[in-house]
Structure 1
């Protein structure tokens, strides 16, 4: 059986108007198209839905049985259409921890001010978790702190981010000029392997040191900030992560004998993922000025 919404719409309009001529006028169809739609519907149901009295069509017992169900189906179809016309679909986002904890909240808040009913679903993990979620279609878009070279994943430059080496204000590293050798001898507190921040720190900073000593690896930036603040070592994180602590003096930036440490943050999605109007609208809120 292949009953169409158009057939049900034609049937319902004939019930209301009493003739194919008036139904055709209401639906902006030709009378022959209306008659054909009704004939197809009756053929598929194997019953007559109207009694014919001259040019008039009078709904019969079969038609009266069908009518409320047809109206219900048409109303559900309109509700479904309206649902997507108003862009109320949930956006599923996965972000690595620095982005999810320190960048996205301001962006999401601005978006929700303009679209208070729009649902957002955010998952925070390390970069490998985000890439896997995008690969499995569990999220619509991913935001990560390093490049992605996985087949089938589209990776686009998103924002620029500055990394800062920092220590507790009383740290011995500030007692004399900072050299690569002094950095190499310092105890480092770093993010876990698999983190986008760790990957970039290894590439931009630690690869320039003659050696380095890892005091500990921690799974989130908050734990690293507290460990450094209590003098357990030095670390390197996004300036966005430690901005408040640098401002209030509980942490201090370590000057480096190296060029500024900058990285690109990336936006990723599966190459077969359709970017809906809702998703594109949300992404338009994800730009530098929202988080400066």
Structure 2
């Protein structure tokens, strides 16, 4: 008599989505918030998946979930399956002209608008024939959305640091330069340095800059990453008085002479042109950086996606 085959439940997309979310967030509670499911539903889905695969995916130590060695290869496969599922679900919309674009704040606010205008110009039906969803946040937040397959293509500042490099494709796009800047008649620079009217700038050493109050972007932003790695490491005693999420807020506070700022040249170019703000050149400091294109390897690359990539690479 033949032995009955064990009747195990089939793997579902919900189980895979739960597993991927737990893998990325490190807990069932955060996964339940991310997926808008109850914590019991999340725990049940994970248990069912482990039962179906007949393997542990996480080691449970107290209330913590640590990745089991089995987890990573399953994570890679689950990401690919979920990506194909989303591609199938949105196939018609993608063919009709839908694209989800992510951008870090400097790029999204100051560089992306003319690129989108070029995209509309290249499409047969112009703005009528395309549906663009935009997500603008700091670099780390945008890259997380790419990992979760919520974004087709992202344009970010600084080197992306995804949870799993194996599922992310990234390509160098263009270079940018950060500038230290101050109010044109800043009280902080009086008697410290001479103003060069021809170049509209002051020149300081790192030792001099370290004595002045600095306003910078928050941790997780591409701008802050460059400031930390290429400026502040030379000034361990620097006076960072504020970390702010919005570049415009930093610019306005510097205009009020609260301190000096450090932002992309694209953010302050209008104020430099009118000389309401001035550049502060720091001896021996290079604040150039690379901007990156980032996308998920499993994401469907629609015709509009390719058109947008072509525009970006031509710019």
State TM-score, norm by structure 1.
0.67
Aligned to 1:160: 175
Check whether the contact 2:231–2:285 (CA below 8 A) recurs between aligned residues: no
The counterpart of 1:147, out of the listed 159, 174, 177, is 159
1:260 Cα deviation after fit: 3.3
SS in 2 for 1:255: strand
SS in 2 for 1:281: helix
Larger radius of gyration: 1
State TM-score, norm by structure 2.
0.62
Check whether the contact 1:147–1:155 (CA below 8 A) recurs between aligned residues: no
Check whether the contact 2:140–2:160 (CA below 8 A) recurs between aligned residues: no
Check whether the contact 2:217–2:246 (CA below 8 A) recurs between aligned residues: yes
1:88 Cα deviation after fit: 2.2
Aligned to 2:10: none
Equivalent residues in 2 for 1:42-121, closer than 5 Å = 87-115=95-123, 116=126, 117-121=129-133
Gaps of 5+ in 1: 1-81
1:134 Cα deviation after fit: 0.4
Is 1:130 matched up with 2:142? yes
| Aligned equivalents of 1:247, 1:195: Cα separation in 2 | 26
| Aligned equivalents of 1:124, 1:94: Cα separation in 2 | 6
Check whether the contact 1:144–1:196 (CA below 8 A) recurs between aligned residues: yes
The counterpart of 2:274, out of the listed 228, 242, 248, is 248
| Aligned equivalents of 1:190, 1:237: Cα separation in 2 | 8
Aligned to 1:237: 263
Aligned to 1:173: 189
Check whether the contact 2:172–2:293 (CA below 8 A) recurs between aligned residues: yes
Check whether the contact 1:225–1:242 (CA below 8 A) recurs between aligned residues: yes
1:274 Cα deviation after fit: 2.8
| Aligned equivalents of 1:263, 1:174: Cα separation in 2 | 30
1:202 Cα deviation after fit: 0.7
Give the number of equivalent residue pairs: 207
Gaps of 5+ in 2: 1-90, 194-202
Is 1:191 matched up with 2:217? yes
Q: For residues 10-43 of structure 1, give each alpha carbon's deviation from its aligned partner in whole angstroms, at most 9, with x where no partner exists.
A: xxxxxxxxxxxxxxxxxxxxxxxxxxxxxxxxxx
Check whether the contact 1:180–1:257 (CA below 8 A) recurs between aligned residues: yes
1:269 Cα deviation after fit: 0.8
| Aligned equivalents of 2:209, 2:168: Cα separation in 1 | 37
After superposition, the CA RMSD in angstroms is 1.9
Check whether the contact 2:108–2:136 (CA below 8 A) recurs between aligned residues: yes
Check whether the contact 1:159–1:288 (CA below 8 A) recurs between aligned residues: no
| Aligned equivalents of 2:228, 2:136: Cα separation in 1 | 22
Check whether the contact 1:134–1:142 (CA below 8 A) recurs between aligned residues: yes
